[in-house]
Structure 1
Amino acid sequence: MTVIERLYDNAWYVANASPTARDLLAADVTRAWMEREAALEDARRATTVADLNPARSALALSLGNSRQAGYDRARARAAEAARCTDIVLGHAFTVKRDLHPSGAMGVEISSCTLLRRASLTATGRGETWHALLFDPQGRNHEAFPTTLGTDPWDAFHRACEWIVSGRI
Structure 2
Amino acid sequence: MTVIERLYDNAWYVANASPTARDQLAADVTRAWMEREAAMSDASRACSVSGVSPARSALALSLHNATQAGYDRARSRAAEAARCTDIVAGHAFSVRREMHPQSAMVVEVASCTLVRRASLSVGGRGEEWYAVLYDPQGRHRDTFTTTLGTDPWEAFHRACEWIVTGLL
Q: Normalised by the shorter chain, which TM-score bucket?
A: over 0.9
Classify the secondary structure of the residue corresponding to 1:34: helix
**Which residue of 1 is the match for residue 117 of structure 2?**
117
**Which residue of 1 is the match for residue 82 of structure 2?**
82
Normalising by structure 2, report the TM-score: 0.94
- The worse-fitting range, judged by mean Cα deviation, of 94-103 and 137-146 is 137-146
Report deviation, 1:143: 1.2
Classify the secondary structure of the residue corresponding to 1:155: helix
**Which residue of 2 is the match for residue 137 of structure 1?**
137
Report deviation, 1:109: 0.2
Report deviation, 1:140: 2.6
Classify the secondary structure of the residue corresponding to 1:102: helix
Normalising by structure 1, report the TM-score: 0.94
Moved over 2 A (4+): none
**Which residue of 2 is the match for residue 52 of structure 1?**
52
Aligned partners of 2:70 and 2:134: how far apart in 1? Answer: 36
Report deviation, 1:106: 0.7
Number of aligned positions between the proteins: 164
Aligned partners of 1:140 and 1:149: how far apart in 2? Answer: 25
**Which residue of 1 is the match for residue 69 of structure 2?**
69
- The Cα RMSD (Å) is 1.3
**Which residue of 2 is the match for residue 10 of structure 1?**
10
1:94 counterpart = 2:94: yes
Aligned partners of 1:115 and 1:101: how far apart in 2? Answer: 31
Aligned partners of 1:141 and 1:48: how far apart in 2? Answer: 62
Which runs of no fewer than 5 residues in structure 1 stay unpaired?
Answer: none
Report deviation, 1:87: 0.4
Aligned partners of 1:50 and 1:142: how far apart in 2? Answer: 64
Which runs of no fewer than 5 residues in structure 2 stay unpaired?
Answer: none
Aligned residue identity for 1:121: S
**Which residue of 1 is the match for residue 127 of structure 2?**
127
Q: Deviations over 1:43-85 (max 9, x none)?
A: 0110011212111000000000000000000000000000000
Classify the secondary structure of the residue corresponding to 1:121: strand
| Percent of pairs with identical residues | 75
Aligned partners of 1:56 and 1:107: how far apart in 2? Answer: 56
Aligned partners of 1:127 and 1:113: how far apart in 2? Answer: 31
Aligned residue identity for 1:100: H
Classify the secondary structure of the residue corresponding to 2:121: strand
1:39 counterpart = 2:44: no
**Which residue of 1 is the match for residue 155 of structure 2?**
155
Classify the secondary structure of the residue corresponding to 1:107: strand
Aligned partners of 1:158 and 1:27: how far apart in 2? Answer: 36
Aligned residue identity for 1:26: A
Report deviation, 1:103: 1.6
- The worse-fitting range, judged by mean Cα deviation, of 58-67 and 97-106 is 97-106
